[in-house]
Structures are given as C-alpha cells and as structure tokens.
Amino acid sequence: MENVEKAIQRTKIKTVALAGGVSCNSYIRKEFLELEKQGIRVYMPDLKLCTDNAAMIASAGYYNYIAGKKDNLTLNAVPNLKL
C-alpha cells in the first residue's frame, strides 16, 4: 500500500484498479477501499472472480497429458501460451 500511495501522490491519478492474485487478499481489498476516502476511485473484481489459476493450469496439463502431449525438462514458461 505504501507503494500504491506513493504512485498516487507522484502521478496525481484519481483511479486505481486491483487485479491479479492479490485481489483475493481481504486485507489488501480493505486497504484499497480506504483510498476512496481520499477521492480515489477503486476498481476490483468480485471475490468470486478471484480464484487461484492453479486448478485451471492443472486441468490443462491433465488434458494435454491424456492427449499424449508431453514435454521434457527443457520446457520454459511462455506467458502468452494458448491453451
């Protein structure tokens, strides 16, 4: 939150968005909502949309495995990989 507040002060922005895995953290959500008292508009997803992607990744891996797709240990992360 310290960094968020510094960024708001330096850039004079009036809108912030909370997204990604941290958007499920109740403490962070509460702290972001406190920014509204300073006139900052806050956007964040509903909690039901803030789930862990591990289950989705495991499911994709499972279906690739049963389809016979296997990789060796040289496989690297590709952030925009199509599933």
Tell me the two tokens of residue 14. 């009036």
Cα(34)–Cα(18) distance, integer angstroms: 13
At residue 41, φ and ψ (nearest 5 deg) are -80, 130
Which amino acid is present at 60? A
Reported as a single tens digit per residue, the pLDDT across 33-76 is 999 999 999 999 988 888 777 777 888 889 999 999 988 888 88
pTM for this model (two decimals): 0.61
Radius of gyration for the alpha carbons in the chain, expressed in angstroms and rounded: 19
